[in-house]
Amino acid sequence: MKLARSFFSFKNFLHRQPSKTHERPHIKTIFTAFIILCLTIGLRGQNQQSIDSLEGKKVVLDEVFVSAIRVTKESPVTFSNLKKEEFASRNLGQDIPILMSFLPSVVTTSNAGAGVGYTGIRVRGSDATRVNVTINGIPYNDSESQGTFWVNMPDFASSTESLQLQRGVGTSTNGAGAFGASLNILTDAVSEEAYGQISSSVGSFNTLRNNLKFSTGLINEHIEISGRLSRITSDGYVDRASSELDAYFLQGAYKDDNTLIKALLFGGHEITYQSWFGIDAATLATNRTFNPAGQYADENGTTQFYDKEEDNYKQDHAQLLWNEKIADKWSTNIAFHYTHGRGYFEQFREDDSFETYGFVPLTVDGEEVNTTDLIRRRWLDNDFYGAVFSANYRDEKLNLILGGGWNQYEGAHFGEIIWARFTSNNNIRDRYYDDDSKKTDLNIYAKANYQLTGQWSLFGDLQYRTVGYEANGEDTGLVDDTFDFFNPKAGVTYDLNKNNNLYLSYAVANREPNRNDYENGNPKPERLQDVELGWRYVSPKLQVNTNAYYMRYKDQLVLTGELNDVGAPLRENVGDSYRLGLEIDANIKFNERFQWRPNVALSSNKNIDFVFQRDGTLQELGNTNIAFSPNLVVGNWFTYTPIDVLQISFLSKYVGKQYMGNIDSEGSVLDAYSQLDFNVQYVWNIDAFVDSITFSGMINNVANEDIVSDGYFFTFDDNFSNPGIVTTIEGAGFYPQAGRNFLLGATIRF
């Protein structure tokens, strides 16, 4: 298993290099300030603001906080909206990516196999490091890895009011550049009426979710305090892939005629037994749930599994959001934020070299010892803070937004040995590496929609972004880079009539390398040009969105097949590549009882004139498929409401064949798969001390299909089997998903 361990221990690890350090006084200070703000704030209030969407005009409070980066049907941008009412019946403890899995061009994954723990999302073949995620307009992606770790925000869907997924480059947003999609999450809106709510759900693999929510309603018509506590536990589908997840969410809000202020504290603590190692094809065929994590041989040669092969990480967020209407046509937004993360990944290492840890060889029973079994922790202690802002001018013809943000990340990476069978000159918790990193991100943008005539509207968006990154790790080398990006976007929308419009847009995005890219040399930034052509049809019973896109990349960072010392995949720049596709989604209301929401995405995703070194020779492979980019993704969402209090839904997903590498090797293939889920919800309205009890149920993978939604592929040169002859060896790992499984839940609302 040494070979397996070296190749299997990748997947997300250095993306975050988990860590946990000593508690700091930051949170107590922030919490005290939060309570004072909630109870004493005395500014003016905020009008409710109308926002256009495909569903028509809605009066929605709180969306002022995301209006600068969200779009409507008047913008030449491809997007999908998802409201809390649309996923509430399925919100039984699974992560937000799983709840989004039926949106167009979306593919989701789960390391533990059942949607709890480490989960991921890909959009148009772009993985989570290329999907820009914001919460209330504030960046969420990890600054160094650029990934999104939903496991750090357990049960966050229970505090989500709505989300918008923009596919392609989208509009200028805060945080890392969107290189395939951007996802904006809006947290719970202000509740005018007080309520209390208890939710519980149980399911397969000993999954249990409990949460408590409350709101004071508007006190004196101005102040609201609300919150949530959650706990989720699960054994996972994969062996020992357990999750123990705790989360909290606390919000204070003040509003009146011209001002809306919200202060938020939220965070989570996750302990997950690792299941990111995957299994090979032979094991997949015979023992789908096998997990090699923590495997070792004891002194008698018996196979054992270390019981603390865990990721243990805490993350706390503080946000202060302020929207002010300063005139009939002007409003402003400013938000301050701070995130503190700390935690570690604990790992048993068998027969590791002394040299890795700075140990001096020693003599035991007359023999030199230079390897040992040991237990190590790899830590990350980081702080992320900054501010984002925007000013909005709106009249009958012009909607102008000026905005930007400044954010800084400071991270400490270090490793500890907490036990070793043999050691010489080292003490417990000595650090065998101790690195620091710093990243500063500044962006400013101006964007406008201008109604040229009754039918024509023009869109323009100009963004300047500068990024500075410093690191001093052994894996990265000494890094001190600055990147300056100019990201223009332009488009036009034409309203054929009140039901139909067409749009055309062109957008440019630039993106800096992430931390792991520096392990493989001196990476260059990537560049993307995105053309979107779409048609929208909106009527009371039918909505159709159709768009074609062409995304052309320069110096795209693609997987090389190499792995670093903990198995994290490395990338390198290639020349040209593209994604060409067609997406169609619809919402069909046959009548008040039947609704059908199908979508289909067809695409071709190619590396142009790809070159690869195989068997010691540089080979021209021509155009090859980009890794993890299926050519066909189909979703369906059928809902039947026989009576007002009962809803029955069938949801299905089909994902076509994918390659896990860029050389079109048959050994890198993920087979096509389909999944059918069944969802039911019944609301029992009591209107007494208890207002209502809502019962929900999910059966996932009803057909019990053998699904593998994710994996990895690697190559390496073998110079030893046949001296003088270089042979390229291929290998792959796979992440199986659960067969038929269920979740049942009840929500009591007071």
What single string gives the DSSP state of each residue in 383-415? EEEEEEEEEEEE-SSEEEEEEEEEEEEEEEEEE
Q: What percent of the chain has pLDDT over 70?
A: 90
> According to the model, what pLDDT value does residue 57 have?
31
Chain mean position to CA 322: 26
User: Residue by residue, what is the 3-state secondary structure of 547-571?
Assistant: EEEEEEEECCEEEEEEECCCCCEEE
Asked if residue 197 lies in contact with residue 210, where contact means CB atoms within 8 angstroms, the answer is no
Instruction: Name the more confident of 375 and 13.
Output: 375
Q: Which pair of tokens denotes residue 300?
A: 């008698």
Q: Which domain range does residue 282 map to?
A: 2-749
- Estimate the share of the chain in helix, then strand, then coil, as percent rounded to the nearest 5: 10, 55, 35
| pLDDT at 16 > cutoff 50 | no
Average pLDDT score over the chain:
87
Averaged pLDDT, 505-510: 95
Q: Which long-range contacts (CB under 8 A, 24 or more apart) does 352-361 make?
A: 354/424, 356/432, 357/417, 357/426, 357/432, 358/426, 358/432, 359/420, 359/423, 359/424, 359/425, 359/426, 360/424, 360/425, 361/424
pLDDT digits (tens, 9 = 90+) for 551-578: 999 988 776 545 555 545 567 787 799 9
| pLDDT at 616 > cutoff 60 | yes
> According to the model, what pLDDT value does residue 74 have?
86
Model pTM score:
0.89
pLDDT digits (tens, 9 = 90+) for 264-312: 999 999 999 999 888 999 999 999 999 999 999 988 889 999 999 999 9
Averaged pLDDT, 701-721: 88
Chain mean position to CA 420: 36
> According to the model, what pLDDT value does residue 48 have?
34
Chain mean position to CA 396: 37
Partners of 741 in the β-ladder: 700
pLDDT digits (tens, 9 = 90+) for 364-378: 888 889 999 999 999
Predicted confidence band at 42 (pLDDT cuts at 50, 70, 90)?
Answer: very low
Closest CA to 145 of 114, 165, 120: 120
| pLDDT at 473 > cutoff 90 | no
3-state secondary structure of 421: coil
What total number of domains does the chain contain? 1
Q: CA-CA distance, 345 to 392, in Å (whole number)? A: 44
Q: CA-CA distance, 257 to 645, in Å (whole number)? A: 36
pLDDT digits (tens, 9 = 90+) for 55-109: 333 334 567 778 788 888 889 999 999 999 999 999 999 999 999 999 999 999 9
Asked if residue 743 lies in contact with residue 689, where contact means CB atoms within 8 angstroms, the answer is no
Q: Which pair of tokens denotes residue 522?
A: 């001196």
Identify the CATH number of the domain in which residue 288 sits: 2.40.170.20
Chain mean position to CA 215: 28
pLDDT digits (tens, 9 = 90+) for 650-692: 999 999 999 998 999 999 999 999 999 999 999 999 988 899 9
What single string gives the DSSP state of each residue in 682-716? EEEE--SSS-EEEEEEEEESTT----EEEEEEEEE
Q: Which pair of tokens denotes residue 8?
A: 């299997």
pLDDT digits (tens, 9 = 90+) for 128-168: 888 999 999 999 999 998 888 999 999 999 999 999 999 99
3-state secondary structure of 609: strand
For residue 646, the one-letter residue type is: L
3-state secondary structure of 233: strand
Averaged pLDDT, 486-509: 95
For residue 97, the one-letter residue type is: P
Burial class (CB in 10 A: 0-12, 13-18, 19+), 194: middle
Q: Which long-range contacts (CB under 8 A, 24 or more apart) does 687-693 make?
A: 689/750, 690/748, 690/749, 690/750, 691/195, 691/749, 691/750, 692/748, 692/749, 693/746, 693/747, 693/748, 693/749
pLDDT digits (tens, 9 = 90+) for 182-219: 999 999 999 999 999 999 999 999 999 999 999 999 99
Q: CA-CA distance, 479 to 471, in Å (whole number)? A: 5
Partners of 587 in the β-ladder: 543
